[in-house]
Amino acid sequence: MTAEVLITAEELAELLGVAGSADADADAGANADADAGADADAGAGAGAGAGAGAGAVEVADRPRVRVLDVRWKLGGPHGHPLFLEGHIPTARFVDLDTQLARHGEPSEGRHPVPAIADLQAAARSWGLDDGDTVVVYDDLGNLSSARAWWLLKSAGIADVRLLDGALNAWKAAGLALETGEPEGNPVGSVTLAYGSLPWLDIDEAAALGESGVLLDARAPERFRGEVEPIDPRAGHIPGARNAPATGNLDADGRFLSPAELRARFEAAGAVRDAPVGVYCGSGVTAAADAVALTIAGFEPRVFPGSWSAWSNTDRPLATGE
């Protein structure tokens, strides 16, 4: 695991006790030979890695893991039908628009941070308890599930991980998916409070743009102000530098190494042990840059309102590089 931020598909499968397709085939073969006797069955089960797979930790030694599916794309389609078609075993679906954000004034941006009571109620509906390890994923290289990572970390959950490579990594490892809604609906008792991660308000974002390092996670053409398909004005916060969140991933959708990410952000002006601000269109992909900055050893501060908040004010803007 990298900086206690990421978890691999294989690590997660071991924690969940989920066998890959090769293990499942071996188990099936062992079962077919069951009439060879109980001892033969036991040997076959051990050799095939039955249950949690070869080398898996004992059930009693596993941390309690809650898995959250945060599939979301700007403009749709909605992630829930995709969740029902196939999701990681035990996962609960998280609605980014309604559970990781709230409706607000235009000056608050398109995805204002939810009230803590609402986020806590949602987290309990996902079955979260204090002390749980939480793993989040999506099907978009963690560009949307990073919002859950950032909010839950901000709200005091100490151990939140992103599935490196997202859902594609799970599938590539030959690991099983479940369909439909999960059985049962356990209600958790987690207690949340904001304050564990520092944020930026609009004035602090403006100040970092003028005298510090403020990164914009949007696509280059939106940063330059050449196109703006959603928000009322095109451009970027004066002084910001462009660091598109998609540049944090390799060809397989996994995060680059800490050294590679560090070099990328240093090239954009980031300095270790100094505040680094980050924003995007509405506070979603900014969280993905915050994840990458954390992996690289920086201390990022997200401006939740992002460009959708800034562009709904009369504050100055910049265009071009």
Question: Model confidence over 63-82: pLDDT tens digits?
Answer: 799 999 999 988 778 989 99
Q: Is the pLDDT of residue 11 over 60?
A: yes
- For every residue of 98-133, DSSP letters joined together read HHS-----GGG-SSPPPPHHHHHHHHHHTT--TT-E
- Identify the DSSP state of 65: E
Categorize the per-residue pLDDT at 212 as very low, low, confident or very high, splitting at 50, 70 and 90. confident
Q: What percent of the chain has pLDDT over 70?
A: 85
pLDDT computed for residue 181 by the predictor:
93
- Residues linked to residue 20 through DSSP beta bridges, in sequence order: 175
- Residues linked to residue 302 through DSSP beta bridges, in sequence order: 199, 278
Q: Is the pLDDT of residue 165 over 90?
A: yes
Examine the residue annotation and report whether 182 is marked as an active-site residue of this protein. no
pLDDT computed for residue 185 by the predictor:
78
pLDDT computed for residue 18 by the predictor:
87
Phi and psi for 92 in degrees, rounded to 5? -115, 145
Q: Is the pLDDT of residue 269 over 80?
A: yes
Is 39 strand, coil or helix? helix
pLDDT computed for residue 21 by the predictor:
55
Average of per-residue pLDDT values in the chain: 88
**Cα–Cα dist 13/175, whole Å:** 8
**Cα–Cα dist 115/143, whole Å:** 22
CA distances 109 to 231, 240, 283, Å, are 9, 18, 8
pLDDT computed for residue 59 by the predictor:
46
What is the reported pTM?
A: 0.86
Average pLDDT of span 287-304: 97
- Of 12-26, 48-62, 77-91, 120-134, which range is least confident? 48-62
pLDDT computed for residue 241 by the predictor:
97
**pLDDT, tens digit, 9 for 90 and up, residues 104-123:** 899 999 999 999 999 999 99
pLDDT computed for residue 211 by the predictor:
86
Categorize the per-residue pLDDT at 207 as very low, low, confident or very high, splitting at 50, 70 and 90. very high
Residue 298, exposed/middle/buried by CB under 10 A (0-12, 13-18, 19+)? buried
**Cα–Cα dist 249/255, whole Å:** 4
pLDDT computed for residue 151 by the predictor:
98
∠ Cα 71 75 78 (to 5°): 40
- Identify the DSSP state of 297: T
**pLDDT, tens digit, 9 for 90 and up, residues 14-34:** 999 987 654 444 443 444 343
**Token couple for 318:** 């910049």
pLDDT computed for residue 54 by the predictor:
34
pLDDT computed for residue 19 by the predictor:
76
Report the Cα 258 to chain-centroid distance in Å. 17
Phi and psi for 43 in degrees, rounded to 5? -65, -45
pLDDT computed for residue 99 by the predictor:
98
Categorize the per-residue pLDDT at 41 as very low, low, confident or very high, splitting at 50, 70 and 90. very low
Q: What percent of the chain has pLDDT over 90?
A: 77
Catalytic residue of the set 88, 101, 280, 288: 280
Q: Is the pLDDT of residue 226 over 50?
A: yes
H/E element holding 24? helix 21-32
pLDDT computed for residue 274 by the predictor:
85
Query: Which amino acid makes up residue 6?
Result: L
